[in-house]
Amino acid sequence: MRTDELDILPKLAEALIKEGFVELHPPQAEALPIALSGKNIVAAIPTASGKSLIGFIPAMNMILTKGKKVLYIVPLKALASEKSDDLKKFSYLGFKIMMSAGDGDLDSDGGNLADADRIVATSEKADSLIRHGSRWIENVGLVIADEIHMIHDPKRGPTLEITLTKMMRRNKDLQIIALSATISNAQDLAQWLNAELISSTWRPIPLKEGVYYNEEITFDNGTSRDVEVGSDIIWSLIKQTIEEGGQCLVFVNMRKSTESLAVKYSDKMKKVSGGMDLNEREVKALEGDLESTALGKKLAACVQCGMAFHNAGLVYKQRHFVEENFRNGHIKCIVATPTLAAGINLPARRVIVRDTHRFESNAGNVPISVMEVKQMCGRAGRPGYDPYGEAVLIGKNYEDYEHLMDDYVMHDTERLTSKLGNENTLRSHILSLIATGDADSEDKIADFIKDTFFGNTSQLYGIESVIENVVDFLIKEEMVQRDGEFLRILPFGKRISDLYIDPKSAMILRDAIKKIDDDTDDFLILHAVTSTPDVPGLYPKKLDDERLRKLADDYDGKFLIDIYNDEDEMIYDYFMSDLKTAALVSDWVNERSEEDITESMGIGPGDIRSRVDMTDWLLYSMNEIAFIIKPEATKSIRPLLTRVRYGVKEELVDLVSFRGVGRARARVLFNYGLKTKNDISAADFEELSKLPKIGIALAKSMMAQCGRGTMKIETPAPEIEREEEEMLDKMAEEYEEKENKKDPQTAPIEKKQSKISDF
């Protein structure tokens, strides 16, 4: 079937053909006529089989024919960016696409999205917009839930489940297209969504899954192939693929292993592939821009050999560079943790799964799920490049070979199960149901839960007592009030729901605020924030012992929250974990370099950014709570907001308010005697532009932000990149326009999305 045979507008058909979408794959040909008729569908088909088009075409057709908005929900911010870019290729047809996926800005009603026809958002952002009463949601005619099998994920699944349930209950005419990998109980999803199930095993590139053992790969289709093995099985499998013109993804269970294997194989890869030439700007981007780190230098060295590693210790720019250069063939092999397999479009000729166990703190080494292994295997086979895809698990002995073949390769994925039915998960969602008016009694909360995937696939034994316990907690913490059989949201509870934080985090922050006075140490405020459930702790290592014990002793009796019980080892471990996170953020705001932090704490730059981002958001929330219960405490909290966001001492707060100036550039300016905005305004332009890390483009922008106008320089210095110059000019002009409109008497506190980069 061809795209121009579908029941869509001719101009849409022409646009699709222009982009190369001519012949439909069998699953697409089956699903699209049903979706275009307005019915709900669940498409459970393999990776690389064209799931996205099943959502894209009905979405564009609905916008063009019915004028309804489309909400495209994805599980990850990286995936949101990828889908947004794909959709923008068709924006010339006359619709506007916007992305709203920033977890760092969940206290917003999304008013800027009102003019968009298609919004790409994470499930957390979509839920936040509903909580804020975004009126444009009422005009959504179609919701596309991409990677809906992520509903089984304990962290993200419940939010996706609640969000879809809210939207279905509010709008009975809403169409839902759910896109999923192949799962064993896809029919349960279809039943929940009142949808038709499209299930297929078809792939454009044949995939063979197998197990390596004794110099041979045995595949699920009964075929096998020999591997010439030297002293290293993994390298032999990589080398064979590269020499045949393919690329490799290697999945391992630990971040440290991704780095050690990539380094180990780099020199060998350079001899096989010739490596990759990097210019100075690319090397800087990989090493860490204005602050290089040992991890960044290691990554740059690997990439130059045609190898790379990919894990949560890297920052977004580093991960994005690796992904893009793997897609274009410059990087031949990536060694990654399994998170890379979760939805990002990054196929390879051969996928090697080295580890099928992972360490969990309370259980030791545990087997990973079949679904997770299948997600990794599904990355094998590049449409348009590879005639086939191979996924290979590694058998250490014959017994292990049989186990991997029987329990993974030949085994169906586990049934999807909801992770919604426990108090910790339901705490925030029950508060939001009361705050938004979706439920005003315990009975109506139970009715809502019956409409979730959890309610559709379980007997709900004991759910009434779980609801009762959560409601009692919310009443006790003065977030909700009981009026007879009805539940009413209180101002404190409404604010917590809007802030999108765990009510238990709000309780911790509120109690800490009550103890803040003018003499409270900044570290104690940071510790209170990092002790909330919303900020992930950092596992303490031996190298942390001396410092953490000293901090615990120095602040003993002064902490703003109740801390550990000496007799409870588990609680003590959590305390030390939170204390390490507080120490990290304290180092950050005191301008310790990323290199020093990563080396001294045994973490990666990505760990710094993830903890700082969450601390930034919780600190903002703490400041908002203080306005309600103890306004004078904001004097101690508010200065930390900018310091955490940018990683600076208090003396640099004025300087980092300039767009384009981060911690490194602000320190340069300060050390050269330019300590305030007034100093910058009065500075000589030529001298300012010649300072290290400043340059003409940024100097122009800073002068404009001081009100000296957008300066025009006829001949920019050759070392200035034109792209950066144009970007900074635009920033300066936008700043002037914004300042001209702002009323300084009524301007609210500005909440920016976390920005902790150095430019």
Q: Any idea where the domains of the chain sit in the sequence?
A: 3-199, 207-409, 423-499, 503-647, 655-741
**Sign of the dihedral through C-alpha 416, 420, 421, 424:** positive
* Residue 205 tokens, joined: 């590139």
- Label residues 215-235 b or e (16+ Cβ within 10 Å = b): eebbbeeeeeeeeeeeeebbb
Those residues whose C-beta lies under 8 Å from the C-beta of residue 528, and which sit 6 or more positions away, are: 508, 509, 512, 559, 560, 561, 622
Which residues make Cβ contacts (< 8 Å) with residue 21, sequence separation at least 6?
3, 53
Quote the radius of gyration of the chain (alpha carbons, Å).
27
Q: Does domain 207-409 have CATH number 3.40.50.300?
A: yes
Structure tokens at 560: 């703003």
Q: Which amino acid is at 391?
A: A
3-199 and 655-741, same CATH topology: no
CA distance 35 to 699: 53
Inter-CA distances, 290 with 256, 293, 600, 616, 676, Å: 24, 10, 20, 21, 22
Fold designation for 423-499:
Arc Repressor Mutant, subunit A (1.10.10)
For the chain, the first-to-last Cα distance in angstroms comes to 50
The gap from C-alpha 745 to its chain's centroid, in whole angstroms, comes to 37
Distance CA 41, CA 31 (A): 8
Residues written for the chain: 759
Give me 621's structure tokens.
Answer: 């929330």
245: left (phi over 0), alpha (psi -120 to 50) or beta: left
By C-alpha distance, which of 365, 382, 473, 336 is closest to 47? 382
Report which of 546, 530, 553 is spatially closest to residue 601, judged by C-alpha positions: 546
Q: Decide: 175 and 143 in contact? Cβ < 8 Å.
A: yes
Closest listed residue to residue 46, CA positions, set 71, 22, 28: 28
| Helix 605-629 vs helix 491-499: crossing angle, to nearest 10 | 160
What does the alpha-carbon distance between residue 338 and residue 319 come to, in Å, rounded to a whole number?
A: 14
Q: How far is the C-alpha of 224 from the C-alpha of 411, rounded, in Å?
A: 19
Beta bridge partners of 2: 23
pLDDT value at position 742? 40
Least Cα distance to 333 among 301, 308, 305, 352 occurs for: 308
State which fold the 3-199 domain adopts.
Answer: Rossmann fold (3.40.50)
Structure tokens at 194: 């009142």
| Spatial separation of the C-alpha atoms in residues 162 and 149, rounded to whole Å | 14
pLDDT of residue 116: 83
Contact indicator for 584, 606 with CB cutoff of 8 Å:
no
Q: Is 256 exposed, middle or buried (0-12, 13-18, 19+ CB in 10 A)?
A: middle
Q: Which residues of the chain have pLDDT under 50?
A: 103, 711-759
Which residues face 209 on adjacent strands? 391
Structure tokens at 122: 């994470």
| Structural class in CATH, domain 503-647 | mainly alpha
* Maximum Cα–Cα distance across the chain: 77
Contact 427, 504 (CB under 8 A): yes
Residue 500 falls in which region: left (phi positive, over 0), alpha (psi -120 to 50) or beta: left
d(CA 123, CA 160): 5
Integer angstrom CA distances of residue 694 from 282, 288, 708, 721: 19, 17, 17, 12
Q: How far is CA 68 from the centre of its chain?
A: 28
Residue 345's φ and ψ, nearest 5 degrees, are -80, 90
Token code pair at residue 56: 């894209």
Q: Which fold has domain 655-741?
A: DNA polymerase; domain 1 (1.10.150)
Return the number of other C-beta atoms located less than 10 Å from residue 478's C-beta. Answer: 14
What's residue 422's pLDDT?
Answer: 87
Q: CB under 8 Å, gap of 24 or more: what pairs does 750-755 form?
A: 751/105, 751/107, 751/108, 751/620, 752/105, 752/645, 753/102, 753/104, 753/105, 754/104, 754/612, 754/613, 754/616, 754/617, 754/645, 755/645, 755/646, 755/662
